Structure 1
Amino acid sequence: MKIEDIKTRINDLITLAGNVLGTHHRSNDPHLVDTEAFAEFRTSSLSFLEKVFGKEHPFYRDFDQQVKDIDRYMTEQGRGILKGAKQEIDGGWLFTVKGLVSAEIFSDFLEMAEYLLQEGYKDPAAVMTGSVLEEYLRQLCRRDGIAVEVDKGGKLSPKKADLLNADLANAGVYNKLDQKTVTSWLDLRNKAAHGKYAEYTKEQVDFMYQGVTNFISRTTS
């Protein structure tokens, strides 16, 4: 899902909330809203929040727990949650289930890698997924104040991905088990990049792709 599509969709949902609130006058109880309109609003909003933020994100959990009954108060709560999500999206802080969308290229490359896998092209998919992972590690380092360059004889050079991975684990950004898993993904990427195509399978690239997208989603905060 492109960032512009996400922005359009959340605006539509906020508008839908207003439409639901506009139905309260049709009931004998001024606190109730239209059942069908509320059901559409709740279902559509939960689907959107799950796809964009994931089920463990506070936006999804709060909406699911607080927007349950067909009344004005809960609809207003739901609209407020969506407005909070919109602020994150508009501010460039959005991280989707597929990873970092503040830089739209992450989403684009992961979608492309997924397409390549579906078409059976495991080797370019492995390289592409690994490149996204390496750039994500670099962004994590910048976010947490970890140097992304190393001094080599008075000249700064970009750190290699393995060193970024070690630095992030040592800083407690993620644990040692994550570090080992990331190392295995980087190794697979390197094999693909150096033409060692027989040393890994499509299934391993599938696992890598799923693992990287989940890792990015889980470690983003």
Structure 2
Amino acid sequence: MMFADRRQRTPQRSWRHGSTFNRRSSMDNAPLTRHQRHRLRTRGQLIQAAVDLVLEKGYEAVTVQDITDRADLGRGTFYVHFKDKEDVLWSAIQDGLRATEAQAHEGFEGKPLPAQLEYYGYLNIFRHADRNRDLYQVMLGEQGSAVLTGRVLAYLAAENERDLKALKPRIYEGFDVPDRVLVQVITGAVFQSVRWWLETPNDYSADQMAGMLFKAIHHKDPPRSE
């Protein structure tokens, strides 16, 4: 239920976000060593190469060798950073979600209400998927990877389980459902809503989808920023 950046939605169809793949949390102000900077650059090169190739050729057609050739790096270097093709592509999604979440934490004015935390979590996911629509469709659609889909679901479930412990007493009071079941219901609703939204022709914006998801779960309109 990671809450999201509240800035104006900006349509974007390319995954290339400058230093997204090399970005650390702004809360970590310790200077990087030269070795650390080199590792981050190398990791970013591999992720960007993988993303570009998937968009060009489709998920199944891309190999580790293709990725290292495009990045002009050796296979040994690839395996220093990643286990396999799914790992590098999952890192692309995870890095983007974490970067968006970090920006939201920095930009939130005052202490957010529990309902705002949940709503902006949905908004974060939909906006990130919207900015990287093509990649999400390739990797998480019917022709994508079952392994990668499983990792996305596991990540969302872990985030939801963590946040539910804090949010349930305040906004899920009266939900007579075991936590582990509620986590799976919310996770499935988020994932399937995003997948349907990306794959089915419709005119709904990311903000509208997040609002409708919140309303479907809580039977009330989502909170608005102050």
Instruction: Tell whether the structures are fold-level matches, with TM greater than 0.5.
Output: no
Say which structure, 1 or 2, has more relative contact order (CA 8 Å, 6+ apart). 2
The TM-score bracket by the shorter chain reads under 0.3
Q: Which structure carries more strand by proportion?
A: 1
> TM (normalized to structure 1)?
0.26
Larger radius of gyration: 1
